[in-house]
Structure 1
């Protein structure tokens, strides 16, 4: 039963990655067809959440490695080249995005790097997906094929189809987040991209019968019902997106595309499960021991709400239409008078070293004990020890926060803030002025 929970975590992580990172890869690819300042606007849009979107790929990799090692051992060497290409493209994409955002104005080189690496990452992802779906040669639970077995006509079609899907998601996102000419261009591009995505889905769906070596069991009523329900949901969501492009409210196309993506993933799972790597590696064969899966389900399951919360906060913080405000210099800072009088001397070096060693020991001990307990051993400590270690680390954090607040670390306010405290005369606190200093204040001034 635990293997199904692990499989659900992997599918959730991959689905969230396709939905979230798919639209920003699409926006990056669309930037190749935009003008200079429009490219900068696209990168500023994506800069708000691209790193949070890609965190789901990390969770999916961890879940595969710990929960489904058979999949990890078969897929990773089987699609090694396009997978490494995807990771390199993601790194270069982050470089282009961050350097373009930090530049004083539009930089054509960084913008082109961002767009080209977005397209390269999308194509590599399609090649990986197509290579897995066409089947990987296996022997004794590991890959036994060649270095280029992933390069097939079906994998190339998957790369092109995934590119069309990401472009569609990017156009829907741009209509939701932009105004003016950018919104109109996204609305005009949406319907042709939707047609291209629908054609690609039909070609890949019927081609899977030929390319995939496993036998599909659509004669099973439950499987057939789930598959055709997901297909009908994708078609209905596509109709919503078609009607919404170029019309208000602007969120409808993106909602339709996201729903269609989720339905497509469910249809693929309904058609192939319990086979996880064609032609015959099943979920039960690829799973790790129950103890490892229990540890994974608890650990990754506890991380899920944190990642969900981070994504939700980023969406809420940057909700609405994108507007680039003119840059203004930061106001000078002032310090509360009372805060300076309460500042205590910094602790000595030995105290700092001891404190950091204690926190490190607590963190390592917590990780080791958690693995010991959830791994099924628990010879020397139980979950009460985990609670004690966690409480000690949390108490040290809270006490340090209270100490910093008492010492005035958080009392730096910009000039003009709603605070009746006057700025501190730093020259007076520093002591009497030097008479020989020409810039020193004089009593008769």
Structure 2
């Protein structure tokens, strides 16, 4: 079990992070697209598509963070030491976004201000997540498993690029979610926004991929060492195929679910590429076995997870099933 417990926890944390990105990504995307609403009523409609289910999305972020602390405390300490400011920005923006979401529905005269706060919180949160991703991919200076860099070593042109890429990626998720959940004028606007966003996100993926070989990155090295590229190259091919399928889906009307599904697959494939590039490390340069807590600690927390994870999956499925279907423009949130 000393070998398999870290592997299990690596899968659990990865699953939690991926679920957060997929489920909260489109809500952040709604905030990013908020400035494109034609009036306050239309922004109400956009937010009402996510109002019944958005509260539970952060559960997955808590699961990923708490799992990292419990199962891989060395990695948790390293990430927070290196990325303290971006993580703090993300958490503050999440709080700001959440408060704005709730207060806007209750406000009257200040409603536009809370709408702007919802948009800003969403943009900054998405950008901070992109910064964190870029810094991890680029690598963090460390010695003997400890961070030895400066406070702003995460700040680089590459991390700025990944920050912007995540903002546009979430905006794409938000626009395809609106295609799925609305009709009429709101859906037309969503399709109009989704079409250029597909191209922009594809360009960002190309830029990040072209930049990777020029980074001193352990993730990039893994892709090309020991013939690994020959069994990893299907992932980039799937990304290209998915981009083409997504473009076709947003260009033609009909199956409103297809654009959202293909947009989700964009993130799944990107996450899969990251995991394949980083394995068997929890962060670049630190393996899951070197970073792991004692087996007794991992086993104890895993016993609780056996009960907790099915409950989270159950209420997530239930909430999305109950609130499935189109959301009418006059639907209310209280």
Tell me the distance in 1 between the aligned counterparts of 2:66 and 2:98.
21
Q: Name the counterpart of 1:401.
A: none
Q: CA deviation at 1:234?
A: 2.5
Q: Name the counterpart of 1:79.
A: 83
2:72–2:292: 8 Å Cα contact kept in structure 1? yes
Q: CA deviation at 1:160?
A: 0.7
Tell me the distance in 2 between the aligned counterparts of 1:98 and 1:70.
37
Deviations 1:328-354 (A, max 9, x none): xxxxxxxxxxxxxxxxxxxxxxxxxxx
Matching of residue 290 in structure 1 with residue 302 in structure 2:
no
Q: Name the counterpart of 2:119.
A: 115
Q: Name the counterpart of 1:144.
A: 148
Within-5 A mapping of 1:192-271:
192-214=196-218, 215-220=221-226, 223-224=228-229, 226-245=231-250, 246-271=252-277
2:249–2:258: 8 Å Cα contact kept in structure 1? yes
2:56–2:316: 8 Å Cα contact kept in structure 1? yes
Tell me the distance in 1 between the aligned counterparts of 2:223 and 2:94.
37
> Residues 240 and 213 (structure 1 numbering): CA distance in 2 closer, same or farther, change over 3 Å?
closer
> Residues 70 and 305 (structure 1 numbering): CA distance in 2 closer, same or farther, change over 3 Å?
same
> Residues 85 and 219 (structure 1 numbering): CA distance in 2 closer, same or farther, change over 3 Å?
closer
Q: Structure 1 residues 53-62 or 199-208, which shifts more?
A: 199-208
Matching of residue 179 in structure 1 with residue 183 in structure 2:
yes
For the residue of structure 1 that corresponds to 2:57, the secondary structure is helix
- State the 4+ residue runs in structure 1 displaced beyond 4 angstroms: 324-327
Deviations 1:81-128 (A, max 9, x none): 111011011001111101112346981011111111000101111111
Tell me the distance in 1 between the aligned counterparts of 2:163 and 2:240.
21
Tell me the distance in 1 between the aligned counterparts of 2:223 and 2:268.
22
Q: Name the counterpart of 2:29.
A: 26
Q: Name the counterpart of 1:63.
A: 67
Within-5 A mapping of 1:23-422:
23-35=26-38, 36-103=40-107, 107-214=111-218, 215-220=221-226, 223-224=228-229, 226-245=231-250, 246-278=252-284, 280-325=285-330
Q: CA deviation at 1:219?
A: 4.4
Tell me the distance in 2 between the aligned counterparts of 1:97 and 1:50.
10
Greater length-normalized contact order (CA 8 Å, ≥ 6 residues apart): 2
Tell me the distance in 2 between the aligned counterparts of 1:207 and 1:67.
32
| Larger Rg, first or second structure (1 or 2) | 1
Tell me the distance in 2 between the aligned counterparts of 1:286 and 1:275.
9
- Between Structure 1 and Structure 2, which shows a larger proportion of helix residues? 2
Q: CA deviation at 1:189?
A: 1.6
5+ residue gaps, structure 1, are: 328-445
Tell me the number of residue pairs that the alignment of Structure 1 and Structure 2 aligns.
325
5+ residue gaps, structure 2, are: none
> Residues 149 and 38 (structure 1 numbering): CA distance in 2 closer, same or farther, change over 3 Å?
same
Q: Give the root-mean-square deviation of aligned CA atoms.
A: 1.8
1:133–1:212: 8 Å Cα contact kept in structure 2? no
Q: Name the counterpart of 1:10.
A: 13
For the residue of structure 2 that corresponds to 1:46, the secondary structure is coil
2:48–2:331: 8 Å Cα contact kept in structure 1? no
For the residue of structure 2 that corresponds to 1:218, the secondary structure is helix
Q: Structure 1 residues 204-213 or 245-254, which shifts more?
A: 204-213
1:99–1:110: 8 Å Cα contact kept in structure 2? yes
For the residue of structure 2 that corresponds to 1:276, the secondary structure is strand
Tell me the distance in 2 between the aligned counterparts of 1:170 and 1:207.
27
Deviations 1:49-108 (A, max 9, x none): 212111100000011001111210101111101110110110011111011123469810
Tell me the distance in 2 between the aligned counterparts of 1:206 and 1:301.
41
After TM superposition, the score normalised by the length of structure 2 is 0.92
Q: CA deviation at 1:321?
A: 0.7
After TM superposition, the score normalised by the length of structure 1 is 0.70
